[in-house]
Amino acid sequence: MAGRAGGGLADPNNQIASKLKALYSAVEREPIPDMFLDLLEKLDKAEQIGKSQL
């Protein structure tokens, strides 16, 4: 295992990690779909109504 200590690009784990980081970064930059934002807004309103009924 001494050859893997450097963790260079030849290491499959580093390649996978690099690609996963790139994918995650790309997903982070995507806008949130309007349908999802609408759902979050409805959940917030329902939560506020529930709290006011206590």
Q: How confident is the model at residue 47, as a pLDDT?
A: 94
Q: How confident is the model at residue 52, as a pLDDT?
A: 87
**C-alpha to C-alpha distance for 14 and 8, rounded to whole angstroms:** 7
DSSP secondary structure code for residue 33 in this structure: P
3-state helix, strand, coil in the chain (%, to 5): 75, 0, 25
Q: How confident is the model at residue 28, as a pLDDT?
A: 94
Signed CA dihedral, 21, 26, 27, 28: sign only: positive
Q: How confident is the model at residue 9, as a pLDDT?
A: 61
Q: If the chain, 54 residues long, is cut into consecutive pieces of 10 residues, what is the mean pLDDT of each piece? A: 54 94 96 96 94 83
**C-alpha to C-alpha distance for 4 and 42, rounded to whole angstroms:** 51
Query: pTM of the entire structure?
Result: 0.49
